[in-house]
Amino acid sequence: MPNPNPYAGAVSRRTHAPVPAPADREVITRSTVRVVMIDTDERILLFNDSDPGLPERTWWVVPGGGIDPGETESQTAVREVHEETGAEIAEADLLGPIAHRHVVHGYSDQIVDIVSETFYAVRVEPFTVDIAGHTEEEQLTLTGHRWWTRSELGAGDAWLWPSCLPELVDRVLAGDLALAELGEQEESTLPVS
């Protein structure tokens, strides 16, 4: 019988088991790029992410990920959009960068210190998301995806990473592509300290 959750069943190299003393969690340092995808119906694509060590905690994020050695930010953005959504975009399609920050994510088993996270935007035609390019880790932690209207982003109690995503979307829709420096932030399922 096929697995009803296309995101489930992957094997991860991480254990996702909570570390008994949170201060003993491994610290990973990296740089990332995220892409705010807005379709012509002004819907925003988000993925439901999770920390399997704390399965009751989930949040919504835009596509994106780590910069590979030798890649530029825009090359990373194009690659990550294709891998995570199946969409083909070009570097020339990217708007921005629209925001930049230093963010630390505390998870049950590790801390990820993203010393540089840059956000771009892209306008796309509506499309069906294809998750075939997800890594094993993404297949384990990403539990779903959907297109959100702008009004849905500001309503309800959905946990958005970054929390300022509605404002970033508003700026893009208004044509304001100036770089917003967001400073240092923490987004954690298990706080860093």
Which of the residue ranges 4-13, 54-63, 158-167 would you say has the lowest mean pLDDT?
Answer: 4-13
- Cα separation of 33 and 22, whole Å? 27
Q: Which residue pairs from 156-159 have beta carbons closer than 8 angstroms and sit at least 24 positions apart in sequence?
A: 158/59, 158/60, 159/57, 159/58, 159/59, 159/60
Q: What is the mean pLDDT of residues 58-68?
A: 97
Question: Which runs of consecutive H residues, i.e. helices, occur in 12-64?
Answer: none
CATH code of the domain covering residue 59: 3.90.79.10
Does residue 10 belong to any structural domain of this protein?
Answer: no
Does residue 127 belong to any structural domain of this protein?
Answer: yes
- Give the domain range for residue 75: 24-186
Q: What is the mean pLDDT of residues 139-165?
A: 94
Does residue 12 belong to any structural domain of this protein?
Answer: no
Does residue 122 belong to any structural domain of this protein?
Answer: yes
- Decide if pLDDT at 3 tops 60: no
Does residue 148 belong to any structural domain of this protein?
Answer: yes
> Which pLDDT value is given to residue 5?
40
Q: How many structural domains does the chain have?
A: 1
- Among residues 168, 154, 174, 192, which one has the least CA distance to residue 117? 168
Does residue 162 belong to any structural domain of this protein?
Answer: yes
Q: Report the SS3 class of residue 87.
A: coil
Does residue 13 belong to any structural domain of this protein?
Answer: no
Q: What is the mean pLDDT of residues 141-168?
A: 94
- Among residues 11, 34, 5, which one has the least CA distance to residue 138? 11
Does residue 65 belong to any structural domain of this protein?
Answer: yes
